[in-house]
Amino acid sequence: MSVYTTLTLKEVQDFTAPYGLKVIDLIPIQGGIQNTNYFIVCENRQQYVLTIFEDMDEQGAGELVPVLEHLGKADLAVPVPLSHSGKAIHTLKDKPAQVAPRMQGEHPMPSTVGQVQAIATAQAKIHMALQGFPLQRTFYRDHAYWRQVSREIKPNLDVADTQLLNTLLGLYDALTEMYPNRPKGFIHSDLFRDNTLFEGDALKGILDFYELNQDELLFDIAITLNDFCTEYPAVTLNEEKALAFLNAYESVRPLTADEKSCLELYLAMAAGRFWMMRLQVAQKNIAEGRTSGDILQKNPDEMRNMLIERLKFVTA
């Protein structure tokens, strides 16, 4: 993730000492847009990830710990945070922070069909494992949240982009009224390739659950399918990979007929959500004067172009 909070080695050594860790090196991680993350290297050469939550309080950050523990017990490859003094979330520079094991592997760039199948199977297992999980989050980035974001962003859009957003939301309102059987549950919400680690086709890690939300499972599918089955910088969908993804997912949890009817629309909606999110982050960085070279800002036009391409199949 981006580095918003700068730390010294001494600060990290003091913070990690109660965990029983002897840190000798600190490496900032650049690759996301919300929290601050560092790799920390210990005397025994073991490595961990130190996360500082930039926009959550201690309660919000701590909500995810039992989820990760639950998924770990379900044999899913997730980083379960370390604990000391009876809790996993502690304070560093007046912000919530945690330490978790560093998971090994590489981001699949580009993805293989085998990797696509592996992540789809894991995503379906996550959806099944979290059905009925007793968690109430203090903040949900669900569809209502994204409709509000779109209202806030819209005054800054030009005429063409305003029409594009209105078309997307109008189609969503119409089609989801026609096909209401779309199950909800806890979803990762940000399961892009850069939040996964692979060794060959073997999935070794699923990262960054901070956007975990109660929302439609189909949104989670669309977000991940879009990313894993797209050969950037082109934004067209790789049909072989998309079919492999859906077959693998349905081997664990079959889609409803209404989900299948809405899938193409949701591929467009997923692109639209991340278009809005990237515009929102860009505006926040400007407003807060975040200009450091350690700040990663993803290109909103990439998702805008994907949205336009995906809409072709909805309106055809």
Stated pTM of the model? 0.87
> What pLDDT, on the 0 to 100 scale, is given for residue 241?
98
77: Cβ contacts below 8 Å, ≥ 6 apart? 103, 122, 197, 203, 204, 205, 206
Cα distance between residue 282 and residue 2, in whole Å: 13
The arithmetic mean of pLDDT across residues 112-139, rounded, is 93
- pLDDT score at 142: 80
Q: What is the mean pLDDT of the chain?
A: 91
DSSP 84: B
**Does 277 lie in the same domain as 175?**
yes
CATH number for the domain that contains residue 86: 3.30.200.20
Q: Is the pLDDT of residue 70 over 70?
A: yes
Distances (CA, A) of 91 to 11, 14, 80, 96: 12, 12, 18, 5
Give me the number of domains the chain comprises: 2
67 near 59, Cβ under 8 Å? Answer: no
pLDDT in tens, 279-315: 988 777 666 665 555 455 678 899 999 999 999 988 7
Residue 4 counted as domain residue: no
Domain interval for residue 87: 9-101
Answer yes or no: are the C-beta atoms of 193 and 206 closer than 8 Å: no
Q: Is residue 220 part of a domain?
A: yes
pLDDT value, residue 294:
47
Pick left, alpha or beta for residue 40 (phi over 0 → left; psi -120 to 50 → alpha; otherwise beta). beta
- Give kind and range of the element (H or E) at residue 91: strand 90-92
Indicate whether 143 and 66 sit together in one domain. Answer: no
Q: Same structural domain for residues 169 and 78?
A: no
Co-location of 194 and 294 in the same domain: yes
Q: Tokens standing for 52?
A: 């500082």
